[in-house]
Structure 1
Amino acid sequence: MRSKYVIGSGALLDWAMAAWREVDPGLDLRPVRLDQDAAYVFDLSVLDNLVVDGATAFAAYDDQFLNFRRFELMAKLKERGFSMPALVCPGALVANTASLGENVMIGAGAIVGHDCQIGFNTVIGSGANIGSACRIGNSAWIEAGVVIGRAAKIGANATLGLGVIIGDAIEVGKFCVVDVAGKITKNIAAKTFLHASFDTSINIVEL
């Protein structure tokens, strides 16, 4: 029987298990709970007992530290030789010309248009709408319901929050956080933090 390790914690791990169960009922799913200590360090010893031997893996972690926690976990699994196919949830519509990297998650009801490129480890939330010819970098996090216009470019490790709408051909740089609901009509430079609690944008430094 084909096996898959699903590694993560909390509600997101439970969700990923349920999603994979729907996507591929024939999989032997093996949940692995991975905790962090007070300094946000993973207890990676739980990975030592995982056996590749044809099994695949999926990292089910949230967007902590610009999604680097999820990326770190993915890297540790790749070091151990695991293949990490993308998870496309039931009800998602992904064009056959779209390209999905490893450990990508496409939520239920999301739409990914023609000729899109979605980098590895990126999360596209439920109901998000990604226009044709978009380029989304590695380890980005796109919340549920976000709309991204045609030919837009979203940089690596960028986070787009609830209610964000990215206009056609707009570029959002890497390491950006856009967490202000509404339409973005101008390019956003790398390392820019936009949040409803701040009157102006903030630049992230030393990253």
Structure 2
Amino acid sequence: MTSRWIVGGGDYAELVAQTWKQACPDENLVRIDVSQHVNHAFDLSALDGLSPSEGAMFVAFDERFGNFKRMELMQAAMARGFKLEPFIHPSAVVGSGAVIALNAFVGPQVVIGHGSRVDYNTVIHAGAHLGPECRIKSSCWIESGVQLGARVAVGRHSILRTGAIVKSGVVVGRGCELGWPRLYDQDVADHTTFDLRYDEPIVVHGA
């Protein structure tokens, strides 16, 4: 029987493992924790005994370090020849023509409008709502309850926190964090952070 390896660490890895186990109880699901050294480099020795021919893998690491650590672990798995697939919860509603790329997570009760595209390694948590023809680029993190109108574009490595509502047609640049629970009705420049600890957004120029 082929295996399904959930590889990573932290609360998100546990969430993925439990959600996948509940949705697909007949799969041979194995969670594998990958630790990090003091310099934050992954210890990949946990993958040494696995054969790509014996199963498929899903990489689960949270949004810390701007989603780059999850991408790094995913690339390491692909370099070793492992097959990566997306997870779409059975209760999610995915419109016609929508595309969900590899290692993307679409949680329970998520709605993705028709013609949308969710690129690789993006995480969409339970209850988020994406309108028609949205484009979510790679390695994004969209928390529960986020609402995106039609034709919203989100740049790679962006984080949208609970309470963010993005108006139709708005473009969110790459490397942004929408942390204020409010309506975003204008385009957001690359590398802009709306942090609850500050009254004004932080913009990193030349990043």
Task: Give 1:40 shift.
Answer: 1.8
1:80 aligns with 2:63: no
Task: Give 1:205 shift.
Answer: 5.0
Task: Give 1:8 shift.
Answer: 1.5
Equivalent position of 1:194 in the other structure: 194
RMSD over equivalenced CA pairs, Å: 1.4
Contiguous gaps of at least 5 residues in structure 2: none
1:148 aligns with 2:148: yes
Taking the aligned partners of 1:128 and 1:21, their CA distance within structure 2 comes to 21
Q: What secondary structure is seen at the aligned counterpart in 2 of 1:68?
A: helix
Task: Give 1:26 shift.
Answer: 2.4
Taking the aligned partners of 2:26 and 2:96, their CA distance within structure 1 comes to 24
Contiguous gaps of at least 5 residues in structure 1: none
> 1:150-191: CA deviations, max 9, x gaps?
001000001111100000000000011110011000000111
TM-score normalised by length of structure 1: 0.95
Contact between 1:22 and 1:90, CA under 8 Å: does it hold in 2?
no
Task: Give 1:41 shift.
Answer: 1.8
Contact between 2:56 and 2:83, CA under 8 Å: does it hold in 1?
yes
Equivalent position of 1:95 in the other structure: 95
**Residue range with higher mean Cα deviation, 134-143 or 40-49:** 40-49
Task: Give 1:37 shift.
Answer: 2.7
Task: Give 1:54 shift.
Answer: 4.2
Contact between 1:139 and 1:156, CA under 8 Å: does it hold in 2?
yes
Equivalent position of 1:179 in the other structure: 179
Q: What secondary structure is seen at the aligned counterpart in 2 of 1:108?
A: coil
Contact between 2:112 and 2:132, CA under 8 Å: does it hold in 1?
yes
**Alignment: residue pair count:** 207
> 1:58-90: CA deviations, max 9, x gaps?
011100111011111111111111221111123
Structure 1 residue ranges, 4+ long, deviating more than 6 angstroms after superposition? none
Contact between 2:136 and 2:154, CA under 8 Å: does it hold in 1?
yes
Task: Write out aligned runs for 1:120-131 (5 A).
Answer: 120-131=120-131
Identity of aligned residues (%): 31
> 1:118-167: CA deviations, max 9, x gaps?
00000011100000000000001101110011001000001111100000
Q: What secondary structure is seen at the aligned counterpart in 2 of 1:53?
A: helix
